[in-house]
Amino acid sequence: MRDRVSTQVLANGAIRYAVYDETGAFLRYEYMLPADEPTEPGTPLNKATLLSDETAAALGLTEESNTSSTVDRAIDTLRSFLFSGKTVFRVHAKLQNGNPAPGMTISGLKSMVDNSAAVTDANGDAVGYSETNPATFGLAASYVDLSAPAVTVTGTPGGITGATLTINFVNFKSFTASTSNVQFSPFCTRVDVSLCGGGGGSGGSGYCTMRNDSFKGGNGGKGGNNGEYGSSGTKGTTQYNDDGSGYARGGDGGKGGRGGVNIVENVTFTANTNYNVTVGSGGSGGTAGGISNAGNGYGGGDSSFLGVSGGSTSSNKIYSSFTELKTVLNGGGTKTGGIDYFYNDNYDNTVVFGETGNPGGSGEVAIRMYH
Amino acid sequence: MYYYVLNEQNTITNSIVLSESEDPAVFGAVADERVFDIGETYTPLPTETDDLASMLIDHEYRLTLLELGIEGSEP
């Protein structure tokens, strides 16, 4: 399509018109401009408003065929597409507050122009076709702050079938394992991050006999994110009673320290950007005491997200919901030493072997999201 | 399975929880069934090639002992 290009135009925009008499004889030129002082100038009739080059190209009406790239041909192209056997849908994506959701890529809906995934426009609408009928639509991106139950619609071949996708805001999310590709939608306005490190493992429990109670249980491991230090393991104990009975008790493995905690509000993030959530693991329990001291518990790992890491033991609470907090106590509990009782006849057979310590609990990353 | 994050010196700097659907490499981590503590140096498990090379060396060693008529012992 082409715009008219005049050569006889005054500086004020007035265009030259020719005046003729009834015999067709030329009389004079006159220059004219509308002077009706409209309250609304209206949409001008030109290439940009009728059929732009971009729209023409998208419909396959190329520059070479530009003279014939008329609105009529564009409509005819769309009409032939509608009747090409594909079922066309108009999916309206709306937020839970009723506002349209622009810029959302709709899964199950393909652009009629280039077969790419269809994206909603400023009105929250996306028009395209589905390769299946009935068709199921949802959000293509898995935003952590949005949820949109998929909708299934049966389309009418040759026509356009409407469907509405309702998008709900999610304002809380907890991660108990490291997760990649976490994205926030353009509707998320603020993110608060709370996290805790993995708990330290407890020390293994100790070995002990009636003749040797010198071996110790292992010490507890330290919690991640600057968490607590574990407690010390204890030495084995023996006891002889007057009646000839007694017992050997292995030393306890010290309990693991809980993970440190950190809360940072209103962290910096960018919508439609992939982030990784790292969740620290709980430390393994220390090795069991053989004829030696038991092993110390292992340290818990560090959690981090959106640049928030570190932590301290000044608090032990992280988010459990958008409004609530919960207490973190994830260090491996004390590994109690075993006990073996004896009577005179089995004094030398009284042996307690240690056991592997308890692992610490995993860390956690819990976030609050605002819209 | 344990997942350890390493620095350039192969020192374990973190130990993380990872689901099987995630790629450890995305987090700069390696998967291993052995227990290490944070701060320890990570020693990779021998590869199949390493195992084969060790077996070949051992085989050559024993052949040499046989040729020399010497009683074998563990290398």
Closest residue by Cα to residue A8 from A29, A27, A24, A28: A29
Q: Which pLDDT score is estimated for A75?
A: 83
Mutate to test the interface with B, among A142, A176, A278, A364 (most CBs of B within 10 A): A278
Backbone phi, then psi, for A93, in 5-degree steps? Answer: -100, 125
Residue A66's pLDDT is what? 52
Q: pTM surpassing 0.90?
A: no
Residues in chain B within 8 Å Cβ distance of A284: 2, 35
A157 cis-preceded (ω within 30 degrees of 0): no
**Which of B17, B26, B37 is nearest residue A279 as measured by Cβ atoms?**
B17
Nearest to A178 among B18, B36, B39 (CB): B18
DSSP letters along A224-274, please?
Answer: TTT-PPPPPP-B-EEEE-TTS-EEEEPPPBPPPPPPPEEEE-S----TT--
Q: Which of B17, B22, B36 sits opposite A180 (nearest CB)?
A: B22
Spatial separation of the C-alpha atoms in residues A162 and A151, rounded to whole Å: 11
Residue B73 banded pLDDT, cuts 50, 70, 90: low
The residues with which A249 forms a beta bridge, in sequence order, are A237, A339
CA–CA separation, A46 vs A5, rounded Å? 11
Residue A120: Cβ-neighbour burial (10 angstroms; 0-12, 13-18, 19+): buried
ipTM score of complex: 0.74
End-to-end CA distance of chain A: 44
Match 């409209």 to its residue by tokens.
A38
Give the pLDDT of residue B32: 94
Confidence of residue B70 (pLDDT cuts 50, 70, 90): confident
What is the band of B7 on the pLDDT scale with cuts at 50, 70, 90?
A: very high
Which chain A residue is nearest to residue B25, measuring alpha carbons? Answer: A180
The answer to whether A73 touches A82, Cβ cutoff 8 Å, is: no
Rounded to the nearest angstrom, the minimum Cα separation between B30 and chain A is 13
- From A296, A329, A311, A312, select the one nearest A201 (Cα to Cα): A296
Put simply, the answer to whether B38 touches A178 (Cβ < 8 Å) is no
Cα A191 vs. chain centroid, distance in angstroms?
A: 12
CA A349 to chain centre: 59
List CB contacts (< 8 A) between B35 and chain A: 284, 298
Give the model's pLDDT for residue A80: 65
Residues of chain A whose pLDDT is less than 50? none
* Cβ pair A257, A229 in contact under 8 A: yes
Whether residue B74 is predicted with pLDDT greater than 70 in this model: the reply is: no
For the record, the structure tokens of A181 come out as 């590709």
Query: What pLDDT, on a 0 to 100 scale, did the predictor assign at position A70?
Result: 83
Nearest Cα of chain A lies from the Cα of B26 at a distance, in angstroms, of 7
Identify all chain B residues contacting A180, using CB atoms and an 8 Å cutoff.
Answer: 22-23, 26-27
Q: What is the pLDDT of residues B24-68, one digit of tens each?
A: 999 999 999 999 999 999 998 888 888 888 889 998 998 898 888
Task: From chain A, pick out residues whose CB is under 8 angstroms from the CB of B16.
Answer: 178, 278-281, 301
Q: Which residue of B has its CA nearest to A297?
A: B37
